[in-house]
Amino acid sequence: MNPKEYKYTQEHEWICPESGNKGKMGFTDYAQTQLGDIVFLDLPAPGTKVEQFKKLGEVESVKAVSDIFAPASGQVLEVNQTVIDEPKLVNEDPYGAGWLVKIEMSDSSELGNLMNSDEYDKFVAGLSEEGSE
Amino acid sequence: MSHHYLLPDISQPGKIGCSLPQLDVSPAELPPQELLRQELELPEVSEVELVRYFTALSKLNYGVDTGFYPLGSCTMKYNPKWHEDMAKLPGFASIHPYQPEESVQGSLQLMFELQEYLAELTGMNTTSLAPIAGAHGEFAGLLIVKAYHRDRGDKARKKILLTDSSHGTNPASVVMCGFDIGVVASDSEGNVDMKSLDSMMNEEVAALTLTMPTTLGLFDPQIADISQLVHERGGLLGADGANLNAFLGHVKFGELGYDYVQLNLHKTFSTPHGGGGPGSGPVCVTENLVDFLPSPLAAKDNGKYTFTSPAKSIGRIGNFYGNFSVMVKAYAYIRSLGAEGLKAVSEDAVLNANYLKEKLKAYYYLPYDRTCMHEVVFSGKWQKAKGVHTLDIAKRLLDYGLHPPTVYFPLIVDEALMTEPTETEGKQTLDAYIDAMKEIAREADENPEILHTAPHNTPVRRLDEVRAARNPDLRWEMNSQRRKE
Amino acid sequence: MEVMSKMPSPYLPNTDADRSAMLREIGVSSIDELFQDIPERFRHTHFNLPQPLSELEIKKELSKLASRNASLDNYTCFLGAGSYRHFIPSTVDHITGRSELYTAYTPYQAEVSQGTLQTVYEYQSLVCQLTGMEVSNAGMYDGSTAAAEAAILACMITKRGKVAVLNTVTPTYCEVIDTYVGGRNLSVETVELNSNHLSSDCACLIVQQPNFFGYFEEVKAYVQKAHDIGALLIAIVDPISLGLFKPPGDYGADIAVAEGQPLGIPTSFGGPYLGIFTCRKEYLRQMPGRIIGKTVDVDGKPGYVMTLVTREQYIRRERALSNICTSEALMALAAAVYLATLGKRGLKQVAELCYHKAHYAADAIGKLKGYSLAFQQPFFKEFVIRCPMAPSQINEALLKNSIIGGLDISHMIDNAMLLCVTEVNTKQDIDRLVEILGTL
């Protein structure tokens, strides 16, 4: 179930807006299924500036590397150390304990560029139909 | 059965695996304490125990001498045993690379002649034997391209074109040489999409690297047009020659229009794979690139053999001259087969691959149903629809005592099974492989569970790679606190 | 059904009957038809190669070629400079000669490659024990390319583009480092650092210990200089020296590389050798080369696999740190067997033999009229002597006496020669060398 209050990117990241222009981000359930067992996360340090839809890090499964894209522009406030120590949390609880970084957004209107949960559900359903992996 | 112990487990203080001579000169004063080592902690094992240990480990391993090993693009052909004896001759094994040239004329002659044979086989002008592996040869080839354009004063050529079916070493090598990458698409036949090439080939492109035959095991009949297009627009055409076994003794890369090609002696030229090397990756070039070859080159001057350095060499890519012992084996191979023998190699290689293709295409999806060369790429697509993946098929083959083909490469084929039998297999072996693959296809229908849980009969079963990556355990440790007294 | 009649070959198991049967199944009438994708004008080209010879005949030819070389079995050798004549215990060849090990390839199917995988795990462990470093890969091409790859790794880690190399590093290593670093459009600077500091745009400082001239550098000071500016210290070491001398892990090296040839690998005219590559654990995920890890299988049995493969070219492709695929696995096995055979006691003994014999030789030569030692610093098994005449003349005279003299480095230091003495040289060998030098 994709949480209703989250926003989604085409690269299967979510952002959960919090008060004060902050937002927590992570991978969707679809993403973690596609990635398989995650073994390593390369996340940016607090203070790093990020730009919407640009690469901010990498995620590794046993046999693949994928880029992680920022759902919004701003500055990294906090990195989820638990998930760095235990990457499997991303597979087990992608919307909760498996969050990746907290961002201070520089322009919250950018959230308008993202999909809401209904739109994202439709988007994922379309991908599955195409049969692409 | 699997060996659950390691060297520290069989180590005991006071043991040693060999005898050493006593000091026969008066000892000198040792240097200051701060230069010296406090503790050296290595295992102590008798020769008996360590030979048993390594012998037991060897029995857990599957090599070409064990059975069929159809790894695509690796050319796992049989390694003639007498080559090993030749490489071990003291005159070849116990010579120092810096000995005076007059004391190593035999080696220099061997290298010089091998350079000539490889140039002749590829239709090129000159060979460098310096690259130590295929990827090293690719690196050298691209540095030559870079030097060539720089020498012409052309600074615009910052890109190398590859195809979407290229081996991972190809893009990695491009980046090592400071180039950008462009990827040319393949068409539905598995050939280069000429429209894609046409749109990408311009004055920013230094070269196109095109494996021939491709990693799909297919010969691209457009090669003359490709060569013309690339050259007309000022680029060079290079080959990853890993698949030379397909037309060895039949076709020359030079005649196809290539400017440079890197070879793999441990593939095409029968030298052993060693569990991951040593290999050798000579690079052969046309006349206009000779000056840029890596240093040094074996040369003949007034009947004497010597090393020279090409006038505008890209420099040294390894400390010495390349993997000489590997060269000895490749030299022996070429001398014992001759032109006719080498031709017979590619004939049986291509025959064997096409036989597998015909016999298995009813059981496994064949994305390109056309004559293949030395390897055939199947897809596990039909089995995937039943929930059985190529990985499961590969693991099940192990239960039949066979090594699987290369899996999941090339990337443009879904669930790929890249199968290269080589010419050193006979029909009986191929039929056994075919029977096993048919059986597995049937199991995918009737009993997929046995595939999901395969292998069952190997020294270990499926290994937890996730655990290995999440919690890397890359070595044991021995320190004085943990030693048994 | 036309089948080209072939000479039976020991390496072509197919008979003509097999070929006919297969052609029938394929539905073509000749093998030539299978080459139809190749335009006619490119096929049937002539190859100018010598006539083939039978095994019996070609063995004779090759033996003749080999006998045109002066094998170190028949000559006394005092030549080192990157390739060394050390004792190779018989265990090494017998184990590397087991064809289950040497005819295998990359262990993609771990279940049937535990021999390869576990021996590499042993190699990685032994090398870490030897160097005092935290992690090792499965080996690279040779010491020089390992040093070059280490320089690139340092640039990636520090995000800087300049590599500093101490001026006492082996010149040919410097050339290889230049090629690799220049390939990526980064820069190399040769430095002499007596009182100077390293410039702050350097990613690393590369130091060889002992250096090209055989003597030990004040490596602790160099570690400090590098770390002061946030650069990595890369040490190039002699693995046999580590039987006696302080390993790079103890003096703070961040990456330590070595030429592994002294560990059970013959001099073989320069190759195949072995690039030892070790580093701090924190660089693990960027370290180039193959790495083997221990894990368990579905039954809980211990087993070994290639791991952290996302670093490698077949996954990361253009984002891989290195393009290395095939390396020197069989040579790494040789090194592992060598270290296991000699063990704690044996390696120390070999190092001591080298040290004392080299010092005995240096001492005796230094006392000869016209000869002197070029350096006063502590050394291991190699040292530089200044000669009363051109080293080339000396080596000519030595060769006539079945002795291979040291490396002529007169282009670096006037009339100087780099000599090497190992455990293989006897007192008689050394005395004879000294005697002959004394007459020149």
**HEC readout, C191-251:** ECCCCCCCCCCEEEEEEEECCCCCECCCHHHHHHHHHHCCCEEEEEECCCHHHCECCHHHH
- So what's the pLDDT on residue B215? 87
Q: Is the pLDDT of residue B485 over 50?
A: no
Sheet holding A38-42, edge to edge: A38-42, A55-61, A64-69
Do B135 and C325 lie within an 8 Å CB cutoff? yes
**C6 pLDDT tier (thresholds 50, 70, 90):** low
Residue type, C330: L
Q: Is the pLDDT of residue A132 over 80?
A: no
Q: Of B284, B289, B349, B344, give the one whose Cα is nearest residue B313.
A: B289
The residues of A whose Cβ lies within 8 A of any Cβ of C are 39-40, 42, 60-65
pTM as predicted: 0.96
What is the mean pLDDT of the segment spanning C208-219? 97
Q: Is the backbone of residue C185 left (phi > 0), alpha (psi -120 to 50) or beta?
A: left
Q: Does domain B82-337 have CATH number 3.30.565.10?
A: no
- So what's the pLDDT on residue C194? 78
Task: Render pLDDT for A60-99 as a digit per residue (tens, 0 to 9).
Answer: 998 889 999 999 999 999 999 999 999 999 999 999 999 9
Asked if B219 and C38 touch (Cβ cutoff 8 Å), the reply is: yes
Residue type, B399: D
Share of chain C above pLDDT 70, in %: 98
Do B466 and A37 lie within an 8 Å CB cutoff? yes
The correct CATH number of A7-106 out of 2.40.10.10, 3.90.1170.50, 2.40.50.100, 3.30.70.100 is 2.40.50.100
Nearest to A62 among B408, B414, B465 (CB): B465
Share of chain A above pLDDT 70, in %: 96
Question: What is the residue extent of each domain of chain A?
Answer: 7-106
Q: Tell me, yes or no, if B454 comes closer than 8 A to chain C by beta carbon.
A: no
Nearest chain B residue to C291 by CA distance is: B474
- So what's the pLDDT on residue B364? 98
State the residue for tokens 């060998």.
C429
- Helix segments in C367-408, DSSP class H: 391-400
For residue C316 the two structure tokens come to 């990361």
Q: Tell me, yes or no, if B470 comes closer than 8 A to chain A by beta carbon.
A: yes
Cα-to-chain-centroid distance, residue B416:
19
Q: In what helix (H) or strand (E) does residue B445 lie, and over which residues does it extend?
A: helix B427-446
Alpha-carbon span A1 to A28, nearest angstrom: 10
Q: Tell me, yes or no, if B464 comes closer than 8 A to chain A by beta carbon.
A: no
Q: Is the pLDDT of residue B3 over 70?
A: no
Q: Is the backbone of residue A12 left (phi > 0), alpha (psi -120 to 50) or beta?
A: left
Chain C CB contacts of A45 below 8 Å: none
HSE-CB for B262 with a 13 A CA cutoff: 29
User: Buried b / exposed e across B434-443, counting CB within 10 Å, b at 16+?
Assistant: bebbeebbeb
Q: Of B22, B19, B42, B317, give the one whose Cα is nearest residue C240.
A: B42
User: Which C residues in the span 222-241 are in contact with B, Cβ-Cβ below 8 Å?
Assistant: none
Chain B CB contacts of C122 below 8 Å: 6-7
**C1 pLDDT tier (thresholds 50, 70, 90):** very low
Distance from CA of B414 to the nearest CA of A (A): 10
Alpha-carbon span C114 to C126, nearest angstrom: 18
Question: What is the residue extent of each domain of chain B?
Answer: 7-58, 82-337, 347-469
> Can you name the residues that pair with B181 across neighbouring β-strands?
B160
For residue C287 the two structure tokens come to 């370290």
Chain A CB contacts of C310 below 8 Å: 39-40, 60-65
Alpha-carbon span C33 to C328, nearest angstrom: 39
- So what's the pLDDT on residue B208? 97
- So what's the pLDDT on residue B143? 98
Alpha-carbon span B120 to B438, nearest angstrom: 42
Alpha-carbon span C414 to C108, nearest angstrom: 53
Regarding beta strands C76-77 and C403-404, do their DSSP bridges make them parallel or antiparallel, or are they unpaired?
parallel
- So what's the pLDDT on residue C45? 87
Chain B CB contacts of C242 below 8 Å: 37, 40
**B481 pLDDT tier (thresholds 50, 70, 90):** low
> Maximum Cα–Cα distance for chain A, whole Å?
40
Alpha-carbon span C18 to B484, nearest angstrom: 61
Chain B CB contacts of C66 below 8 Å: 86, 89-92, 106
**A128 pLDDT tier (thresholds 50, 70, 90):** confident
ipTM higher than threshold 0.90: yes
What is the mean pLDDT of the segment spanning C170-197? 93
Angle between helices C427-439 and C391-400 (to 10 degrees): 120
Q: Is the pLDDT of residue B2 over 80?
A: no
Q: Of C106, C110, C108, give the one whose Cα is nearest residue C297.
A: C110
What is the mean pLDDT of the segment spanning B241-266? 97
The backbone torsions φ and ψ at residue C77, rounded to the nearest 5 degrees and listed phi first, read -120, 130
> Can you name the residues that pair with C208 across neighbouring β-strands?
C236
Asked if A121 and A3 touch (Cβ cutoff 8 Å), the reply is: no
Q: Tell me, yes or no, if B435 comes closer than 8 A to chain C by beta carbon.
A: no
Question: What is the three-class DSSP state of B5?
Answer: coil
Domains of chain C: 76-87+343-439 (3.90.1150.10), 90-337 (3.40.640.10)
Alpha-carbon span B375 to B378, nearest angstrom: 10
Alpha-carbon span C355 to C380, nearest angstrom: 5
Task: Report the sign of the C-alpha dihedral through residues C395, C398, C403, C405, in that order.
Answer: negative
For residue B348 the two structure tokens come to 């049986």
Secondary-structure percent of chain B, ordered helix, strand, coil, rounded to 5: 40, 10, 50
Regarding beta strands C416-420 and C382-386, do their DSSP bridges make them parallel or antiparallel, or are they unpaired?
antiparallel
Q: Virtual CA dihedral for C220, C222, C224, C226, nearest 10 degrees?
A: -150
- The DSSP code for A82 is H
Q: Tell me, yes or no, if B473 comes closer than 8 A to chain A by beta carbon.
A: no
Q: Of C302, C297, C263, C308, give the one whose Cα is nearest residue C135.
A: C308
Q: Tell me, yes or no, if B91 comes closer than 8 A to chain C by beta carbon.
A: yes
Distance from CA of B172 to the nearest CA of A (A): 15
Q: Is the pLDDT of residue B354 over 90?
A: yes
**B167 pLDDT tier (thresholds 50, 70, 90):** confident
Sheet holding B376-379, edge to edge: B376-379, B416-419, B406-407
Q: Count helices and strands (H / E) in chain A.
A: 4, 9
Domain B347-469 in CATH: superfamily?
A: Aspartate Aminotransferase, domain 1 (3.90.1150.10)
Asked if B283 and B119 touch (Cβ cutoff 8 Å), the reply is: no
> Can you name the residues that pair with C190 across neighbouring β-strands?
C165
Distances (CA, A) of B334 to B52, B248, B351: 37, 11, 21
Alpha-carbon span B314 to B290, nearest angstrom: 11
Q: Is the pLDDT of residue A40 over 50?
A: yes
Residue type, C130: L
Asked if C358 and B30 touch (Cβ cutoff 8 Å), the reply is: no
- So what's the pLDDT on residue A133? 43
Alpha-carbon span B13 to C157, nearest angstrom: 41
Alpha-carbon span B390 to B479, nearest angstrom: 44
What is the mean pLDDT of the segment spanning B83-87? 97
